[in-house]
Structure 1
Amino acid sequence: MKKIILFLAAVCFAVASCTKEKTDYEAEIDTVVTEHYEFKEAASINSEDYKISIEALNGTFYKGYNEIHLIITNTQNNEKVNVSAATFLPIMTHADGSNISCPHQYDLLYKPDDNYFSGYSVFTSESNVNEEWELYISFTVANQTYTAKQSISVQDQPNKNLNMTAFTGKDDEQYFIALVSPQKPKIAENELVAGIYKFNKSTNSPSGTFPDPSQFSYTEVSGYTLMLDPRMPEPSMGNHSSLNNKNLVQQSDGLYHGVVNYTMTGNWTLNFIMLNQNGQILKGTKVPGDFTPGVEGVKSELYIDILF
C-alpha cells in the first residue's frame, strides 16, 4: 500500500508540474496562428507592354516554402496574355557581392483553368541590409521572349509550423527540408507535408548573361523517406512522443506526406532520419525512447522545432 501511495504522489506531482509549465508557457507566448488561404500580389514588374504580377499567400514572401502564382497582362488593354512559357529564378546578393539562390521551380507550370503560371520558392533567409533578394523572370509571347527582374522583400516566418532547415548529407550534397502544412495543427492526427530539395552542383563555369540558371539549379529529391519521431522536448514534458505517426513519403505532387499526432498544444520537435532511395541514412539519428521528466529531451541531428 505504501508503494502505491508513493507512486500516486509522484504521478500527481508530474501532472501538476506539466500543467503549471504548460499554463505559464501559453501565457508567455500568447500567439495566435493565422491561416492564410488567399493569394495576393506580393510584387509586380513591368516589361515593355506587359505587367508581371507575382502572387503569394497573404501577399507576402516568407522565409521557407512559398507557393507562387505568376500572372501576365497587357498594359495597353489590361487583359491577360497568351504566354507559352515562363521561368522564375530568385537570386540573393550578399554584401560581398556573391550570389546564391534557393530551392525553386524554374520552369513554371501553366494552369489553364485559372490562367496563371504556378511554382514555388523556398527562401532560405529573410531580407536584410546586407542581403537582397531579386526575382529574374522570363516569359514568351508569340515566339518572342521577354525578361525582367525585381527586388523583393522576404519576411521572417512568424508561424513556426512552417519552419525549414538546411544541411549537408552524408553524401556531401546540400539538402533543404521545408514544412508546407499544416499551417495550424490540431490536437489530433495531422497530415504533415514537407518539401525536400537538393542543390545541383554545376560542373561548368557560368555562361551567357547573368544569371546562368545552371549555376542555381535545385531539384525535388525523388523516392526518399523521412522517418518521423515527434517529441515534446521541454523538461516538464519528459521528451514524450505520441502514437500513430507515419513517416513521410513522396506523392504525385512531388511533396512528402505523412502523419503527426499532436496530443497537446505546446513546444514540439519533429525528429527526422532521412533515407535515400536505397534506404541509406543521409542525415539523422535515432532519439532515445526514455521518458525523462526534468531533463531537456535529446533531439535527432536532423530536426525542425514547431509550436502551436
Structure 2
Amino acid sequence: MKTLKYIIAILFLTGSFLACTDQNDDESLEINPVEGLFKIYEISEADHTVEIYSEKSTLTVGYNEFAIRILDKASNIYITNAALTWMPMMHMESMSHSGPHSILKNVVDNTLYKGHIVFQMAGNDMEYWDLTLKYNFNGQEVTVTQKLSVDQPADGMKKTQVFTGADDVRYVLAFVNPKEPKVAINDFQAVLYKMQDMMTFPLVENYKITVDPRMTSMGNHSSPNNQDMVYNSITKMYEGKLSFTMTGYWRINMQLLNENGDVLKGEEVTENHPESSLYFELEF
C-alpha cells in the first residue's frame, strides 16, 4: 500500500513539474524583444522587411539607442545571424560626415541587433541624417539606406557637448543616464568619443570626468556624495554618481581629464567662477 502511495505521489509531482515547465516555456515564447520600444522606421524590400526601433519616439541630438531586426516575408520569421553593420551619415550643404556609434550587438536568439548612435546636430530642410545598413539575407549581401529625422531635444536641456580639447582633439561627450532622475543618489553614465576623421569616431578609454552638480537658482549650491565618472570597460561608458537633494533645474559641471590628469576641457567651480564650460543640464 505504501508503495502505491509513493508511486501516486511521484506521478503527481512529475505532472506538476511538467505543467510548470510547459507554462514557463509558453511564457518564454510570449516575450516580446522590442516591448517598450518605438518602431520608428520600416524598410520594405521584395522578400523581407527591416524594422528599426528606438527607445524614443523621436530621434534627437545626443545619445539614441536602437534595435533592428529583419523579417523574412515568405516564412514570417525574423532571421538570425544577419551580420548587420551600420553607418550614420550627416549630409550638409557643403560636406558630409558620420557620427559616433557603437557596433551592433546580436541579441535575443540572434534575431535582434542593438546599438547606439550619438547625433551631434539636428537636421533641417536642407541638411539631413541617413542610416546605411548592410546585412546578409538568404546568402546575399544587401545594402539599404533610410533617411532619418533628428530633432533638438524637446526639453531644451544640454545633454551633448562637441568641443576641442586642450590637446587639439575634437571630442563628443553625450549624456546617457539617469533618464528619470530622482531626489536621491543616481547612477550617472555618459559616452565619450573623439573625432579621428570625418568618418571615424573611436571610443575614448581610461580618462576621468569630474562631477559637480549645482542648483543655480538656489545660490548655486551643490550636493553631497557625488562620484566622478571613470571608464567601465564592460559597458564602454563613463560611470559615476549624481546626488540630487531636490527637484528643479540642475547644471552638472564637469572637467575632462586625460590619463595623466591633465585638464582637457572644463573648469573647477568656485565662488568667483560659478560654472564650467563643460556641462550637462537636467530638470525634473
CA change 1:159–1:183 in 2 (3 A) is: farther
Classify 1:99/1:176 alpha carbon distance in 2 versus 1 (closer, same or farther; 3 Å): same
Unpaired stretches in structure 2, ≥5 consecutive residues:
1-34
Is 1:39 matched with 2:37? yes
Distance in 2 separating the partners of 1:257 and 1:160: 24
2:219 to 238, 252, 261: 238
Partner of 1:219: 202
TM-score normalized with structure 1 length: 0.75
Between the two proteins, the alignment pairs up a number of residues equal to 249
Gaps of 5+ in 1: 1-36, 202-214
Name the counterpart of 2:283: 307
Q: Is the 8 A contact 2:158 2:281 kept in 1?
A: no
Pairs within 5 Å for 1:56-71: 56-71=54-69
Could you tell me how far 1:301 is from its partner in structure 2?
2.0
Match of 1:229 among 205, 208, 212: 212
Give the AA of the match of 1:226: I
Cα 1:162–1:121 shift into 2, 3 Å: farther
Inter-partner Cα distance in structure 1 for 2:277 and 2:125: 31
Give the letter aligned to residue 228 of structure 2.
N
Quote how far apart the aligned CAs of 1:305 are: 2.0
The match for 1:17 is none
1:264 is aligned to: 246
CA deviation digits over 1:233-265, x for unaligned, max 9? 23xx21111111000112211011111111111
Partner of 1:73: 71
The separation in 1 between residues aligned to 2:110 and 2:78, in whole angstroms, is: 11
Give 1:161 shift. 6.5
For residues 76-91 of structure 1, the aligned pairs below 5 Å read: 76-91=74-89
1:184 and 1:262 mapped to 2: Cα distance? 12
The question of whether the paired residues in 2 share the 8 Å contact of 1:82 and 1:141 is answered with no
1:168 aligned residue (139, 142, 164)? 164
Residue 284 (str. 1) matches residue 266 (str. 2): yes
1-side partners of 2:188 and 2:158: how far apart?
11
Q: Which residue of 2 aligns with 1:102?
A: 99
Which residue in the other structure is 2:136 paired with?
A: 140
Q: Deviations over 1:20-55 (max 9, x none)?
A: xxxxxxxxxxxxxxxxx8212111223442211111
- 1:52 is matched with which residue: 50, 53, 59? 50
- The amino acid of 2:99's aligned partner reads C
Match of 1:130? 126
- C-alpha distance in structure 1 between counterparts of 2:127 and 2:180, whole Å: 30
TM-score by length of 2: 0.81
The residue type equivalent to 1:229 in the other structure is: D
Q: Percent identity?
A: 33
Q: Runs (4+) of structure 1 moved beyond 3 Å?
A: 159-162
Relative to structure 2, which stretch is displaced further, 241-250 or 155-164?
Answer: 155-164
* In 2, Cα distance between equivalents of 1:189 and 1:217: 35
CA RMSD of aligned residues (A): 2.0
Q: Give the Cα–Cα distance (whole angstroms) in 1 for the partners of residues 231 and 140 of structure 2.
A: 37
C-alpha deviations, 1:214-237, integer Å up to 9, x for none? x51112211111111111123xx2
Cα distance in 1 between the residues matched to 2:149 and 2:111: 26
Equivalents in 1 of 2:156, 2:236: separation in Å?
22
Q: Which residue does the alignment assign to 1:10?
A: none
Partner of residue 12, structure 2:
none
Match of 2:115 in 1: 119
The structure number with the bigger radius of gyration is 2
- Measured after TM superposition, the shift of residue 157 of structure 1 is 1.6
C-alpha deviation, 1:126, in angstroms: 2.2
Q: Give how far 1:160 is off.
A: 5.8
